[in-house]
């Protein structure tokens, strides 16, 4: 499983990039709005730093508008992935994008059949939202397992991108259940590195070295 950062903040993206584990970036309209930066300019900055997939979401709700926006976003850099919501109109647009070799990430996926529909429309990635499912009393991780089973059974290449991740256990379980990518807030990326026994071990090694 690869790691993406879920952020439109350049400081956060740089910090994650320097850690050496970053394979891509996802943004969404809420994350971009929080930054107050020009969307296209920010995407240029991100894509010049991170060479893996950088998801940029369309705002239109109709396929024609999504296609116009997505084609413009795809011009920014070859590693732009156009993020499209899981709707009928969205899937019409995904089909056309796939014929034009524009990569897509179908977002706001909350069921395995939605993921299958997105894959059949030609999506490069599907994004099941774990945390938001947990928030309403469902088990987001079970959705990863279901999608992975269906994609395996039917030889589907679309990558499963675990999104709306809230804590390290979402990450380890997503990896174990077959997600290809997890997109994480910087806070969760930092948490992944931590283990109290690692800290204790370093402290003991350093103490022993000082007292040799
Ligand atoms: C990523 O592609 C999603 O937009 C993001 O993970 C959503 O996370 P949230 O549910 O914490 O807003």
Q: Where are the domains of the chain?
A: 2-210
ipTM: 0.98
Q: Give the per-residue pLDDT at 39.
A: 95
For residue 59, the tally of other CB atoms under 10 A from its CB is 10
Alpha helices in the chain (DSSP H): 10-18, 29-35, 39-49, 63-76, 88-99, 112-121, 130-135, 140-153, 168-177, 186-193, 196-210
Q: How far is the CA of 175 from the centre of ligand 1 (A)?
A: 18
Cβ atoms 109, 128 nearer than 8 A: yes
- Cβ–ligand 1 distance for 6 under 6 Å, the answer yes
Name which CATH class applies to 2-210: alpha beta
- Cβ–ligand 1 distance for 105 under 6 Å, the answer no
Tell me which DSSP letter residue 61 carries.
Answer: S
What's the token pair of residue 188? 């969760």
Give pLDDT tens digits along the chain (212 positions). 999 999 999 999 999 999 999 999 999 999 999 999 999 999 999 999 999 999 999 999 999 999 999 999 999 999 999 999 999 999 999 999 999 999 999 999 999 999 999 999 999 999 999 999 999 999 999 999 999 999 999 999 999 999 999 999 999 999 999 999 999 999 999 999 999 999 999 999 999 999 99
Dist. CA 43–CA 93, nearest whole Å? 21
């Amino acid at each position: 499983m690869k790691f993406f950062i879920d952020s439109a903040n350049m400081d956060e993206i740089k910090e994650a990039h320097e850690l050496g584990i970053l394979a891509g970036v996802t943004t969404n309209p809420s994350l971009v709005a929080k930054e107050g930066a020009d969307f296209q300019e920010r995407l240029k900055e991100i894509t010049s730093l991170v060479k893996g997939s950088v998801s940029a979401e369309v705002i239109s709700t109709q396929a024609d508008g999504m296609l116009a926006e997505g084609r413009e976003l795809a011009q920014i850099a070859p590693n732009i992935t156009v993020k499209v919501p899981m709707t009928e109109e969205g899937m019409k647009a995904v089909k056309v994008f796939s014929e034009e070799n524009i990569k897509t990430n179908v977002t706001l996926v909350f069921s395995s059949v939605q993921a299958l529909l997105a894959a059949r429309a030609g999506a490069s990635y599907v994004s099941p939202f774990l945390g938001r499912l947990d928030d309403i009393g469902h088990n987001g991780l079970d959705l990863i397992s279901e999608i992975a089973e269906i994609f395996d059974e039917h030889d589907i290449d679309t990558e499963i991108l675990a999104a709306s991740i809230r804590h390290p256990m979402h990450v380890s379980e997503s990896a174990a259940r077959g997600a290809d990518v997890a997109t994480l807030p910087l806070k969760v990326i930092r948490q992944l590195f931590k283990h109290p026994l690692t800290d204790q071990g370093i402290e003991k090694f350093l103490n022993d070295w000082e007292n040799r």
